[in-house]
Amino acid sequence: MGTALLTRRNAIRLSAVCSVLGTLVITSAGLAPGAAASDGVQSKQWYLDAMHADEMWKHSTGKGVKVAVIDTGVNPQTSSLKGQVLVDEVPKAAKYHVTQDYDGHGTTMAEIIAGTGAGGGIKGLAPGARIIPIRVGLDELKDANERARSLTSAKAIRAAADSDAKIINMSYGSVYYNGDEEDALKYAASKGKLLFSSIGNSGDAGNKPDYPAKDPYAIGVSAVDKTGTVGKLSTFGNYVDMSAPGLNVPAWCDNAFTRYCTTEGTSHASAIASASAALVWSAHPDWTANQVLRSLIDTAGRTWPKGKPSKYLGYGLMRPRMVLADKNFDPGPADRDPLAAENGTAPDEDITATKSPAASPTAKTPAKDTGSSSGPASAAAKDADSGDSTQTWVIIGAVAAVLVIAGAGFAVMRARRNA
């Protein structure tokens, strides 16, 4: 595999029609040329072993759960996505060219979530789930008419909310706040959806917070490497809710779909978070979004009190296996938002739906028209106390935690304060 990094287009703007949102960034960073799709790309998916995917798939593959991927479009003809993309279920207002991925990014996110791995392609963490593609218009679209017909982030979120998707993945962000986008997120939450968003890739470059991750009801996800260390690029602050793998993972190099590259970014972390939720929701279809999210928060790997989330890893490293392994897991109340404090609401003002959204495979609902200051860089080094090369110190600001990949899979072993 090549070692030279190719810089992905970092700042991608919405079209003039959508200019109120400002600069919108696809949250995948550097790309290194990789092997062809048939040349062992799954061996690069280290997070499948780390998260014990084979063990989880004995309990759940995400079957029956639909995930809306709001992105650059999704190519349903890659070997890994054939039969996985529900184009017929895209709301009418969002149907324009959804299967024409003009960058390759959206197709990568869809494969990370629900790819079958056929033909040597990316194997999704939730291969039994299905994808509803929703495309947003970015500056990569050179044709002005095509850009004008593409959706803004706010309209895309509303379209996803009006679909049968239970989960909405948003692997993009903007440093500019937009009221319509926030209203759309609240609308989606009121319909019982779970909304995952990449937290942003500016952790080592100004650390400017990204929207929609910073908005209420968006679950902001930071990225870690195979040691459980938060990435230097991962934006941090009090709006980080969860963390998931996102560094040194495969992705399509471009929209030619001829080879995969090695890449990093919080985009991938958000997609893995969405897939994790799909696994849990499939195993517990009667749970609400509140309960699915609470179960992931309660079982997250962390060394700090749950009531004091880290500004680097939020409530911790996502471990859906811990939920799936416990048949008697208590998800808590259906009608209480576990992120009520972060969302700025009191528990008795919770607007999230109290019933699990319908998952009818044939139902179609028309859409309404409508990632702080820089902190210390993360680092990993061999644990001098244990001498065990499978253990690493994870620098997360004030907390240094040992996370173990082998055996327990992201299991927290011990912690100590960093002076």
Supply the angle between the helices 266-283 and 105-114 in degrees, to the nearest 10.
Answer: 30
Confidence at residue 271, expressed as pLDDT on a 0 to 100 scale: 98
From 127, 108, 132, select the one nearest 29 (Cα to Cα).
Answer: 108
Mean pLDDT over residues 302-306, rounded?
A: 93
Work out the mean pLDDT of the chain and round it to a whole number: 80
Lowest average pLDDT, out of 64-68, 221-225, 304-308, 361-365, goes to 361-365
Confidence at residue 158, expressed as pLDDT on a 0 to 100 scale: 98
Question: 12-357 belongs to which homologous superfamily?
Answer: Peptidase S8/S53 domain (3.40.50.200)
Structure tokens at 91: 């709301």
CA atoms of 245 and 110, how far apart (whole Å):
16
Which residue numbers are catalytic? 71, 105, 267
Q: Which band of pLDDT confidence, cut at 50, 70 and 90, is reported for residue 347?
A: low
Mean pLDDT over residues 169-191, rounded?
A: 96
Residues near 362 by Cβ (< 8 Å), separated by ≥ 6?
none
**For the chain, what are the domain ranges?**
12-357
pTM metric for this prediction = 0.81
Whether 211 shows a pLDDT value over 80: the answer reads yes
Confidence at residue 364, expressed as pLDDT on a 0 to 100 scale: 31
